[in-house]
Amino acid sequence: MSAALSIAANPDEFRRATQWLEALGQTHQIPEDKVYALSLCLNEALANVLSYSGIDAAQALIGLTFAADHQPGASAVTVTVSDPGIAFDPLRHVPKPLPATLEDATPGGGGIVLMRAFADALSYTRAAERNSLRFTVCWSP
């Protein structure tokens, strides 16, 4: 089962994307903690599009796809975020070291770390002038 949504590259649309994902979670009876993991990854991916893609809301749409795979004994959902911005592979990003003190901490840079922690699989491709970041969560029913 799959679904798709296109949104503008602005934070107001990100809320709509999260609501779309949460509604799909209910439809597909995805466990609440897995919907949370998907939503967290989605929001971090969309924040990266705003920060690194070079596109703005007037230029292009961000494509979202949702694919659920329910098998006996195992289920998975993969969400793909696709944008026409400059090439940016977040999986090649090397996280900065943790600060020694709170005073040494700087905002930003933690989204990829969160995605790696919450997704069971992450992948990135660049094709047809578009970035595609996929994240998957899995569970046993």
Reported as a single tens digit per residue, the pLDDT across 15-43 is: 999 999 999 999 999 999 999 999 999 99
Residue 57: closest CA among 93, 84, 89:
84
| Contact of 82 with 128, CB cutoff 8 Å | no
17 C-beta neighbours (distance < 10 Å), count: 21
List the alpha helices (DSSP H) in the chain: 11-27, 32-52, 111-118
Mean pLDDT of the chain: 88
- pLDDT over 60 (residue 57): no
What whole-number distance in Å separates Cα of residue 99 and Cα of residue 94? 15
- Residue 43, classed as helix, strand or coil, is helix
pLDDT at 12: 86
2-15 residue pLDDT tens: 999 999 888 889 99
What whole-number distance in Å separates Cα of residue 46 and Cα of residue 17? 10
> What spatial distance separates the first Cα and last Cα of the chain, rounded to whole Å?
17
pTM to 2 decimal places: 0.87
Which residues pair with residue 79 across a beta bridge? 66, 135
Domain boundaries, the chain: 2-139
pLDDT at 136: 98
pLDDT at 99: 66
74-109 residue pLDDT tens: 999 999 999 998 888 888 877 667 667 777 666 566
CATH 3.30.565.10 fits 2-139, yes or no: yes
